[in-house]
Structures are given as structure tokens and as C-alpha cells.
Amino acid sequence: MSKALVIGNWKMNLDHVEAVHLTQQIAALLASRPADRVDVVLAPPFVDLRSVTSVLEAEHSVITAAAQHASDRDNGAFTGEVSVSMLKRLGVSSVIVGHSERRTLYHMDDALVASTVRAVVRGGLDAVLCIGENLATREAQEHDDFVRQQLLSALEGVQESNERVTVAYEPIWAIGTGQTATTEQIRDMMSTIRTQLSALRFSTSRVLYGGSVNAENAATIVTDGGVDGFLVGGASLKTDSFAAIIGACNDCYAERR
Ligand code: 13P
């Protein structure tokens, strides 16, 4: 895969007015300092999506928009849910599926993650499948098996070599904690994930890292962690830190080990 991918997951932050400001700032910065080796994606809350895609269209920006979640159903009596076709119609290009916060706080189990991945790719959008172990699983040295199993389950029934699937490895213990996984832990896990992806015939998928990525550690993680990019939480809410992460990816992606 020739280009890295950096996604800003804003989680439940920024209303649509704030979202417009941040999108304008990031789009302007990227227009003045292009990052040709990086695809950049913003994932705001549902209610901000139309505002964000309108700004991106008006600015003719190369940035695209992602939703943080979607329903696995096409339409119907599912109060509070949003379908893939509704997102597509808004100009959204991808959907984050199975983020650990949805898995742990909203009971999204493996079966629902799998059916949501299928719904997203069937609907013609890119799926960013989130996987990753908690601290107890890591301490029990069961993280490799756990993540292999998450991949197996989530990709069941998805057409092989589907270029619409991206994987984001986000160890739960590194999310929002300031405790980034070491580059060695990340490199080992990238290898586990890529081996499993090729066994499942998804070897073209990009594999991202997420968990306390910031302007200071991004370059080292790309170079030594062997990642194809990042899923960024907190540091994506400020133009400077998000731009620095994109810049680090742009500079280091070709040299990654
Ligand atoms: P932080 O970058 O805030 O640790 O969040 C990571 C994440 O969950 C992105 O999806």
C-alpha cells in the first residue's frame, strides 16, 4: 500500500460549529503543506458530519469524512441508529467499526461487529475495523490469540481481498491513558495482524495503530513500529498536534521498518 492513513476520531467532542472551525483549519493547513503520502480522514460525531463534508467539498479538500459507528441494518424501526446508506448520502467515505468504547460501553459483541463490517462494505463504504486487547489479556500474554480471533470473527463473510477493509490495532490500555505501546510491542502486533490478514486473504488491508498517539511519538511509531498510519483520539482535536502527526507520517512512511 503506497499511502499511509491518518484518521482523527473526535469521539463525543465538538459541536457542529466547533467542527466547522477545526475542519477549516485542518483543510487550510493541508492545502498549504500537502502531505502527498498520507490519506487524511476526519471522524466527527454524527450530528457534525454534514457540516464537515460541506466544508471539505467547498474547500475542494483531499480530506474525507468517516462516521464513528453505523447500524448493521439497512433501515427500519431501530430508534437512534444511523444506516450506512444515510452516511453515504452525506458524503461520508468510511465507518469506524467496533471501537473498544462501543464494544465495552455499548455491548457491541463480535457478532455485531462482524455484521456491521459486512453492512459497511456492502453499502460501498470503507470499514475501519478496530481490534485490541485489554490489560488483563496483555498481562496474561494472550494478546496475540485474542487479536487473531477478533480478526477471524469480524471478517467472516466479507469477500476476500476486499480493499474496503482497514484494521486499527488499539490496545485498550493505551487509549486515552498517555501510555503508548512500545514500538517493539507495536511491531510484534503488526506482524501478528498481517500474518492473520494474509491467512484470511486480506493482505492488502492497511494496519493502523491507535492509543495515545501524539505529535512527539508519531514519527518513531511509524518508523520503528511498522504501521501504515494512525487512528488518533485526543491529539486530533487540535490543529497543531493533528497536523504534526500527519507530517510525521508523510516524512517517515517510506522509511518504516
Ligand atoms: P487517544 O489517541 O486519545 O488515546 O484515543 C485513541 C482512540 O481511541 C482512537 O480511536
How do strand 229-232 and strand 4-9 relate by DSSP bridges? parallel
Query: Model-level pTM greater than 0.95?
Result: yes
Cα-based distances in Å from 173 to 101, 132, 146, 176, 210: 12, 9, 15, 8, 11
Domain CATH for 28: 3.20.20.70
| Cα separation, 230 vs 8, whole angstroms | 8
Is it the case that residue 42 has pLDDT exceeding 80? yes
CA angle 129, 236, 228 (to 5 degrees): 45
| Cα separation, 69 vs 64, whole angstroms | 16
pLDDT tens digits, one per residue of 171-220: 999 999 999 999 999 999 999 999 999 999 999 999 999 999 999 999 99
User: Does residue 234's CB lie within 6 angstroms of at least one atom of ligand 1?
Assistant: yes
Mutation test of ligand 1: which of 179, 231, 241 has the most ligand atoms closer than 8 Å to its C-beta? Answer: 231
The count of domains in the chain is: 1
Quote the domain boundaries for residue 149: 4-256
Ligand 1 centroid–CA 210 distance in Å is 6
pLDDT tens digits, one per residue of 43-96: 999 999 999 999 999 999 999 999 999 999 999 999 999 999 999 999 999 999
| Closest protein CA for atom 9 of ligand 1 | 233
> What's phi and psi for 148, nearest 5 deg?
-60, -45
DSSP 8-class letter at 158:
S
What is the per-residue DSSP string for 77-110? S-TT---HHHHHHTT--EEEE--HHHHHHS---H
Closest alpha carbon to 181 in 224, 117, 126, 122: 224
Q: Which atom of ligand 1 is nearest to the CA of 96?
A: 10
Alpha helices in the chain (DSSP H): 16-32, 49-58, 84-89, 100-105, 110-122, 135-139, 143-154, 183-199, 218-225, 239-252
DSSP 8-class letter at 127:
E
> Would you state the pLDDT for residue 174?
96
Q: Would residue 107 show up in a list of annotated catalytic residues for this protein?
A: no
